[in-house]
């Protein structure tokens, strides 16, 4: 039978605040020894009282606005009760029925180029737990993470495939990074993801029983676990069985989901309002002030780049990371004076610069090629001062040394030969040295001209203008 996958996602993102959510502990504990960034509040000692971190609340409100959410006038914190060694208080301060923001959407682009909205159910604020390391016979717990501000973003079940989930995560992470409120690094555990998946017969309206896959720590495992679950559930349904409502984990090495607990063991969290914290009132003036602080977001940036002449796909890729988008913007504005059009600049970045970044493992924010110099290089190629092949060599050297394009062209004598008398001589030599190719061409194998062009380019050490060469060749071969 044909099935449609129904997928909803819950994403946790650690917020980049200076201090923790409800105490003054330094939130930058990345390099710190275990249990050194702790105090009575985040250790849950009796009598310790929480104090709200205003910046964390502002960050979630900004995220809510960027995700097109409504900001209710009142929000509150609740206690979510469950026993676990890394949860020192025996409860987590979270938000149950009055989140900071709700009912928004994110737009993603599907593989066929069309846009699709994924509805956001809510974005709320809670505190992170400590971190357990299981050593076999015993476990170690580090409470440095305990009480870190954590935002949870929950979608409606609008996602239909692993590819859509990937696109959603990419867009969500881009927005959080543009806002500067979260690193979104899944490898470091600063962003964590849970996926809810069910199948229904294609064309049916009712949802099937869902399975939740937890603790996914890369985009790849999100996509793979979804693809795996779709196959697994389809096989059960095809065999006339029923999908069980369970919580699963992802076994990266085996490439399959594994059951962690069944519905019968599901927690009853006994939520109740946190008595030690007041209700949060989001006054309009405050919300307006936060809205005014939002930077230009990926969608708007993408539209602007398309209007400047970039292909929609390129505009999307180039706005996924804020640092890349900023580099592109700087190169485009330098491009006007350098005689480099937006489309050419985008091609050079998407092609050669990305290749160099990938090969070297460098970060675009810290490379030696200034955006203005990249534009200058593209300008040299566009004006025919050097050809594209020489341009690639020049960019490699710029990347390695940080020297300006023009200086490299000069020092290496790469300026393109467009002067036809000099080219004519090289072309004639190539014709004389390759009688077989000449004969092929005259017998109708027009492709032979490509071979001869290559010979001329080689003889000119790549400096010949390929267009002039091929014109000369055709004229001489008749």
Q: Which helix (H) or strand (E) holds 118?
A: strand 115-127
> Looking at beta carbons only, is 276 or 359 nearer to Zn ion?
276
Contact, 279 vs 75, CB < 8 A?
yes
> Looking at beta carbons only, is 267 or 439 nearer to ligand ADP?
267
Contacts of 467 (CB under 8 A, 6+ apart): none
Residue 141 bridge partners (DSSP): 132
Residue choice 21, 42, 367, 456 for contact with Zn ion (CB under 5 A): 42
Least distance to ligand ADP from the beta carbon of 8, Å?
2
Least distance to Zn ion from the beta carbon of 127, Å?
10
How many residues touch Zn ion under the rule CB under 5 A: the total is 5
> Looking at beta carbons only, is 39 or 407 nearer to Zn ion?
39
Give the total residue count for the chain.
Answer: 478
Contact, 437 vs 447, CB < 8 A?
no
**Burial class (CB within 10 angstroms; exposed 0-12, middle 13-18, buried 19+) of 242:** exposed
Cα–Cα dist 109/319, whole Å: 13
Check residue 47 and give left, alpha or beta (phi > 0: left; psi -120 to 50: alpha): left
Residue choice 23, 27, 226, 317 for contact with Zn ion (CB under 5 A): 23
Please give the structure tokens belonging to residue 69: 């959410």
Contact, 476 vs 428, CB < 8 A?
yes
> Looking at beta carbons only, is 41 or 179 nearer to Zn ion?
41
Contact, 160 vs 207, CB < 8 A?
no
Interface with Zn ion includes 39 (CB under 5 A)? yes
> Looking at beta carbons only, is 94 or 196 nearer to ligand ADP?
196
Establish how many alpha carbons lie within 13 A of residue 152's alpha carbon, considering only the half-sphere containing its beta carbon.
17
Least distance to ligand ADP from the beta carbon of 158, Å?
8
Q: What does 42 bind: ligand ADP, Zn ion, none (CB cut-off 5 to 8 Å by kind)?
A: Zn ion
Q: What does 23 bind: Zn ion, ligand ADP, none (CB cut-off 5 to 8 Å by kind)?
A: Zn ion
Least distance to Zn ion from the beta carbon of 23, Å?
3
Other beta carbons within 10 Å of 316? 23
Q: What does 252 bind: Zn ion, ligand ADP, none (CB cut-off 5 to 8 Å by kind)?
A: none
Q: What does 207 bind: ligand ADP, Zn ion, none (CB cut-off 5 to 8 Å by kind)?
A: ligand ADP
Contacts of 234 (CB under 8 A, 6+ apart): 1, 3, 199
Q: What does 39 bind: ligand ADP, Zn ion, none (CB cut-off 5 to 8 Å by kind)?
A: Zn ion
> Looking at beta carbons only, is 155 or 224 nearer to ligand ADP?
155
Angle between helices 466-477 and 420-433 in degrees, nearest 10: 60
Contacts of 5 (CB under 8 A, 6+ apart): 160, 161, 197, 198, 199, 226, 230
Task: Give the C-alpha distances (Å, rounded to integers) separating 268 from 81, 91, 332.
Answer: 8, 12, 55
Site of interaction with ligand ADP (CB under 6 A): 6-10, 154-157, 196-198, 207, 210
Interface with Zn ion includes 52 (CB under 5 A)? no
Check residue 373 and give left, alpha or beta (phi > 0: left; psi -120 to 50: alpha): alpha
Least distance to ligand ADP from the beta carbon of 211, Å?
8
Least distance to Zn ion from the beta carbon of 37, Å?
7
> Looking at beta carbons only, is 45 or 307 nearer to Zn ion?
45
Closest CA relative to residue 229, chosen from 215, 210, 216, 242: 210
Interface with Zn ion includes 56 (CB under 5 A)? no
> Looking at beta carbons only, is 271 or 354 nearer to ligand ADP?
271
> Looking at beta carbons only, is 25 or 437 nearer to Zn ion?
25
Please give the structure tokens belonging to residue 40: 């009575």
Cα–Cα dist 318/348, whole Å: 12
Interface with Zn ion includes 93 (CB under 5 A)? no
Least distance to Zn ion from the beta carbon of 57, Å?
17
Q: What does 9 bind: Zn ion, ligand ADP, none (CB cut-off 5 to 8 Å by kind)?
A: ligand ADP
Q: What does 155 bind: Zn ion, ligand ADP, none (CB cut-off 5 to 8 Å by kind)?
A: ligand ADP
Q: What does 316 bind: Zn ion, ligand ADP, none (CB cut-off 5 to 8 Å by kind)?
A: none
> Looking at beta carbons only, is 15 or 342 nearer to Zn ion?
15
Point out the residue whose Cβ comes nearest to ligand ADP.
8
Contacts with Zn ion by CB under 5 A lie at 23, 25, 39, 41-42
């Amino acid at each position: 039978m044909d099935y449609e996958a129904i997928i909803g996602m819950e994403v946790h993102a650690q917020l980049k605040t200076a201090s923790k959510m409800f105490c003054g502990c330094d939130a930058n504990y990345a390099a710190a020894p275990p249990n050194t960034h702790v105090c009575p509040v985040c250790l849950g000692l009796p009598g310790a009282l929480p104090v709200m971190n205003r910046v964390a609340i502002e960050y979630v409100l900004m995220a809510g606005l960027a995700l097109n959410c409504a900001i209710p006038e009142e929000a509150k914190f609740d206690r979510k009760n469950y026993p676990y060694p890394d949860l020192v208080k025996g409860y987590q301060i979270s938000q149950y029925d009055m989140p900071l923001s709700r009912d928004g959407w994110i737009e993603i682009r599907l593989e066929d180029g069309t846009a699709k909205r994924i509805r956001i159910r809510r974005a709320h604020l809670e505190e992170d737990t400590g971190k357990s390391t299981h050593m076999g016979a015993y476990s170690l717990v580090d409470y440095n993470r305990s009480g870190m501000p954590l935002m949870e973003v929950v979608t409606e079940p609008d996602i239909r495939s692993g590819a859509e989930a990937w696109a959603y995560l990419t867009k969500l992470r881009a927005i959080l990074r543009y806002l500067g409120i979260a690193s979104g690094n899944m490898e470091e555990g600063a962003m964590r993801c849970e996926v809810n998946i069910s199948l229904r017969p294609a064309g049916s309206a009712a949802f099937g029983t869902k399975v939740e896959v937890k603790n996914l720590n890369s985009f790849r495992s999100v996509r793979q676990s979804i693809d795996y679950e779709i196959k697994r559930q389809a096989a059960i349904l095809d065999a006339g069985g029923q999908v069980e409502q369970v919580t699963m984990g992802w076994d990266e090495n085996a490439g399959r989901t594994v059951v962690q607990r069944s519905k019968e063991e599901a927690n009853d969290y006994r939520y109740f309002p946190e008595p030690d914290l007041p209700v949060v009132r989001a006054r309009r003036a405050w919300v307006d002030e936060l809205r005014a602080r939002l930077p230009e977001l990926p969608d708007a940036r993408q539209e602007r780049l398309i209007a400047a002449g970039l292909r929609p796909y390129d505009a999307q890729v180039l706005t996924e990371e804020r640092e890349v988008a900023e580099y592109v913007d700087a190169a485009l504005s330098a491009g006007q004076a350098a005689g480099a059009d937006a489309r050419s600049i985008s091609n050079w970045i998407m092609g050669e610069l990305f290749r160099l970044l990938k090969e070297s493992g460098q970060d675009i924010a810290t490379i030696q090629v200034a955006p203005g110099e990249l534009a200058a290089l593209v300008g040299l190629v566009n004006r025919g001062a050097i050809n594209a092949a020489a341009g690639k060599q020049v960019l490699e050297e710029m990347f390695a040394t940080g020297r300006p394009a023009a200086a490299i062209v000069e020092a290496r004598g790469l300026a393109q030969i467009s002067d036809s008398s000099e080219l004519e001589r090289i072309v004639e030599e190539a014709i004389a040295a390759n009688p077989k190719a000449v004969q092929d061409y005259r017998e109708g194998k027009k492709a032979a001209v490509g071979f001869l062009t290559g010979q001329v380019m080689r003889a000119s050490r790549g400096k010949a203008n390929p267009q002039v060469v091929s014109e000369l060749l055709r004229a001489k071969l008749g």
